[in-house]
Amino acid sequence: MPQGVRPLGDVGGVVDVVMPARNEATTVAANVAAARGCRWVRDVIVVDDGSSDATAERAAGAGARVVRRDATIGSKALAMAAGVAATDADAILFVDADCTGLTSGHLDAVCRPFVEGRATMSIGFFDYGRFWNWVVPRCPPLSGERIVPRWVFEAVPETKLDGYTIEVRLNEVICEARLRTSARIMAGVQHRTKRAKVGRRAGMGQTWRMYKALVSLLRPVGDIRWRTYWFYLRGLTVEP
Ligand SMILES: Nc1nc2c(ncn2[C@@H]2O[C@H](COP(=O)(O)OP(=O)(O)OP(=O)(O)O)[C@@H](O)[C@H]2O)c(=O)[nH]1
Ligand SMILES: [Mg+2]
């Protein structure tokens, strides 16, 4: 095991962070720093799809290994796949590069149920306020902050690695195998929305296209079974 790597408790093995990032120069360094400080993390790999800002430089400056995808059309899912392919870690902690307020303590808390063998997938959710903090973890999870064994990511067929739908595909692998999920709110954590990044009009357009792609995954249009959500709820533990 490389020097400085902490073993994965009951599970055994190594955790690396994979952080997809496209034009996230504003926030990427802080998120790399948070990820590097997580007690179970060995390396932080930032995957950049041709950002036009200083994302790659700031990520590297904060101590990440930067993988560049040579892509004319970016894709969150393909960026994540490139990150997983660039490491031999046994488990991957995915962290979006646009989080605000994220600390190593939040990521420790996300990893702990996984490391202790209480869940196969462990997720952190943004802090939306009291009411939504109860609702959101009990909905099909779309959060990018989650740890899974690498086999879970590799179980998603290449043909299904499609942009923002990747989280639904990870849910599908976990839930169809009736595996357990742990969920928690990351107090004080938010993210820069698409509207903040590219302006109101373009941001709303991108958000609309993202949700349209997500909804069209469901039967009868798509191939995700409704029962997947039932299996999610059955295997779910929401932690304080
Ligand atoms: N490398 C790479 N990263 C991407 C791409 N698209 C999104 N990302 C990253 O994936 C993370 C999440 O993307 P966002 O666009 O914020 O999506 P979101 O948070 O699900 O959606 P919003 O609620 O609208 O912000 C961020 O770190 C993005 O920079 C891409 O094409 N390539
Ligand atoms: Mg975001």
| Pocket lining: 194 vs ligand 1, CB cutoff 6 Å | yes
**What global pTM score does this model have?**
0.95
Q: Which residue has the higher pLDDT, 143 or 198?
A: 143
Q: How far is the CA of 102 from the centre of ligand 1 (A)?
A: 16
Residue 211 is predicted with a pLDDT of: 87
Could you tell me if 53 and 27 are in contact, meaning their C-beta atoms sit under 8 angstroms apart? Answer: no
Q: How far is the CA of 225 from the centre of ligand 2 (A)?
A: 26
Fold category of 15-238 in CATH: Spore Coat Polysaccharide Biosynthesis Protein SpsA; Chain A (3.90.550)
Residue 9 is predicted with a pLDDT of: 52
Instruction: Tell me the β-bridge partners of 121.
Output: 181
- The model's pLDDT over 70-125, given as tens digits with 9 standing for 90+, comes to 877 889 999 999 999 999 999 999 999 999 999 999 999 999 999 999 999 999 99
Please provide the distance, in angstroms rounded to a whole number, between the alpha carbons at the two ends of the chain.
33
User: How far is Cα 140 from Cα 229, in angstroms, rounded to an integer?
Assistant: 6
Q: How does the average pLDDT of the chain come out, rounded? A: 93
* Strands of the 65-68 sheet, one edge to the other: 65-68, 41-48, 15-21, 91-94, 145-149, 121-125, 181-185, 236-238
Q: How far is the CA of 11 from the centre of ligand 2 (A)?
A: 30
Could you tell me if 31 and 97 are in contact, meaning their C-beta atoms sit under 8 angstroms apart? Answer: yes
Domain boundaries, the chain: 15-238
Closest atom of ligand 1 relative to the 47 alpha carbon: 1
What is the bridge-based pairing of β-strands 41-48 and 121-125? Answer: unpaired
User: How far is Cα 19 from Cα 76, in angstroms, rounded to an integer?
Assistant: 10
Mean pLDDT of 214-226: 91
- The model's pLDDT over 3-59, given as tens digits with 9 standing for 90+, comes to 434 446 555 689 999 999 999 999 999 999 999 999 999 999 999 998 999 999 999
Mean pLDDT of 156-173: 95
User: How far is Cα 143 from Cα 42, in angstroms, rounded to an integer?
Assistant: 22
Return the H-helix or E-strand segment holding 68: strand 65-68
